[in-house]
Amino acid sequence: MDLEIKEALDNASKTLAEVKKAQVDLSDQLKVLDQKKASGEDITDIKGHVEDSRKGLTELGDQVADLTKKLSHRGADLEGKSLGRIIAEHDEFKTLKDDRKARFEVKDVTTGSFGTIDLPGGVRRGSRGLIQPVNQALFLRDIIPTAATTAAVIEYLQESGYTNNAGVVAEGAQKPQSELDFEPKAAPMVKMAHFFRVTEETLDDVDGMEAYINQRGLYGLQLKEEGELLNGPGTTGRIDGLLANSTTYDSGLVPGITPVNAMDDIRIAIAQVAEADLLASAIVMNHLDAAALDLAKDADGRYLHPAFAGNTAWGLPVVRTKGLPQGKFIVGGFIGNTLIWQRKGIEVRRSTEDRDNFVKNLVTILLEERLQLETLRPEGIVYGDLTAAGGE
């Protein structure tokens, strides 16, 4: 897909260069024409060259217009199309029935989704198609920056201590020394994957299959990915997750305040992140705990936290996830502190040669990726228990 667009842009660039050259040539020929005409010389030959140049410019102009139109249509086709639809219309996807293998990779997984579904062979949905499932509103990927890498192992220094002795210094006096302590970290890339087996008849006969390709496969991978980004212990073959690089919530941090509900906990944890000289950027909760806060009412039946129902708490976005146990929460200074490293974007592989696929007319569809998480300052990731509601 990108190669087609690049080729079209290259052609347009070459054509524009030709137009510019032809314009210069025509301008030169017109100058010669004027000079010869003024001197009374025969200008028949020059007129012929000018006419040829004009025709050439017209043809080049038509080429530019055609290329512009194609690129415009190309952009319109891509704009608003889901990644799954683009993949479904890709040449390798369309020729799957004829090819034994097809493979393509998607580098940007923050805006795209794709997958497949296992349905009975030969099912005909007609023009109604398949109902598109609704995805979870917010993922960890939406609050943690992502970067691409070619490294198999991420090596970095995690800050483990900071003594700030900066202060006023008298003229000629010794300056105070501050200290920074680091712990070396090495985090190998981790592969996450799953696959489906589907009959060729289903791929041929089920209308709307691309909607499921666009939704289910990647969504399932994202759900498991999110759980690993949260809970991964950092051992061999596992992601070095947020909980393994977090600091315990200190409920007594704010003087004179004892938390009596989850909203109190969240606000105190925000202060704890600030105490570490970081800015809290998001909250992570189990989706059932979030629902409980949505529904909390006072004695008169009025909702206590109407703003929370809008997916924010104390002005911060809330990731409502299945990856975090009930009763737990995270308040994190994620920006500038955590980074998801992507070694390989989501890759889709298709094969009719897996096991007995060939004789059973089955297609195996595999989705996989390689990634790792880097956390620079664990004190900026506050993790703890929610206080059970008291007077709510």
- Examine the domain organization and report whether 195 and 266 are in the same domain: yes
d(CA 323, CA 257): 30
- Examine the domain organization and report whether 382 and 250 are in the same domain: yes
In a domain, 310, yes or no: yes
- Examine the domain organization and report whether 69 and 117 are in the same domain: no
- Examine the domain organization and report whether 60 and 118 are in the same domain: no
In a domain, 276, yes or no: yes
Neighbours of 81 (CB within 10 A): 14
Specify the pLDDT at position 345: 84
- Examine the domain organization and report whether 209 and 246 are in the same domain: yes
Burial degree of 288 (CB within 10 A; 0-12, 13-18, 19+): exposed
**Containing domain of residue 251, as a range?**
108-392
In a domain, 248, yes or no: yes
- Examine the domain organization and report whether 280 and 319 are in the same domain: yes
Last residue of a domain, one of 29, 61, 79: 79
- Examine the domain organization and report whether 157 and 272 are in the same domain: yes
Neighbours of 115 (CB within 10 A): 22
- Examine the domain organization and report whether 150 and 285 are in the same domain: yes
Tokens standing for 278?
């970081």
Specify the pLDDT at position 110: 29
- Examine the domain organization and report whether 71 and 165 are in the same domain: no
Per-residue model confidence as pLDDT tens for the chain (392 residues): 444 555 555 565 565 556 556 666 666 666 666 666 666 665 566 556 656 665 665 565 556 555 545 544 444 444 445 455 555 555 555 554 444 555 544 443 322 333 444 444 444 444 445 555 555 566 888 899 999 999 999 999 999 888 999 999 999 999 999 999 999 999 999 999 998 888 888 777 776 564 576 578 888 888 899 999 999 999 999 999 999 999 999 999 999 999 999 999 999 999 999 999 999 999 999 999 999 998 988 889 998 888 777 788 999 999 999 999 999 999 999 999 999 999 988 888 888 888 898 898 888 888 899 999 999 999 999 999 999 875 44
d(CA 214, CA 83): 7
* Total domains in the fold of the chain: 2
Dihedral angle at the C-alpha atoms of 196, 197, 198, 199, nearest 10 degrees? 170
In a domain, 95, yes or no: no
- Examine the domain organization and report whether 62 and 119 are in the same domain: no
- Report CA 183 to chain centroid distance, whole Å: 29
The answer to whether the CB of 106 falls within 8 A of the CB of 84 is: no
The pTM of the full predicted model, rounded to 2 decimals, is: 0.65
In a domain, 87, yes or no: no
- Examine the domain organization and report whether 275 and 381 are in the same domain: yes
d(CA 212, CA 118): 10
Specify the pLDDT at position 124: 41
Specify the pLDDT at position 369: 93
Instruction: Give the CATH number, domain containing residue 315.
Output: 3.30.2400.10
Please tell me the chain's helix, strand, coil percentages from 3-state DSSP, rounded to the nearest 5: 40, 25, 35
Specify the pLDDT at position 366: 86
The answer to whether the CB of 113 falls within 8 A of the CB of 83 is: yes
**SS3 sequence, 215-232?**
HHHHHHHHHHHHHHHHHC
Specify the pLDDT at position 344: 87
Specify the pLDDT at position 217: 86
In a domain, 29, yes or no: yes
Coil vs helix vs strand at 313: strand
Tokens standing for 194?
């799953």
- Examine the domain organization and report whether 181 and 268 are in the same domain: yes
* Strand 381-385 versus strand 247-248 pairing type: parallel
In a domain, 102, yes or no: no
In a domain, 181, yes or no: yes
